[in-house]
Amino acid sequence: MEGQTVHLYYWDIRGLAAYIQLALEAAGVKYEYHPYTEATEEDWFKRDKPALQMTLPNLPYLKDG
């Protein structure tokens, strides 16, 4: 996965994304973490979630490429 960056989206609650981040680190995957805080909660529900082309979009999710 040279040159590509995976984007990880999850709630900004301590420890929730830790296992995913550890797996990405162990696999040597370059990634960026985009946490949703209380301030951006509306962004998830009103903008990002409806825009995902999935049947049941939920957090966490990864964007690859």
Is the model more confident about 1 or about 53? 53
pLDDT at 65: 74
pLDDT at 54: 84
Is 57 within 8 Å of 49 (Cβ atoms)? yes
User: What is the reported pTM?
Assistant: 0.81
pLDDT(1) > 50: no
Is 45 within 8 Å of 52 (Cβ atoms)? no
pLDDT band for position 15 (cuts 50, 70, 90): confident
pLDDT digits (tens, 9 = 90+) for 21-56: 999 999 999 999 999 988 888 888 899 999 988 888
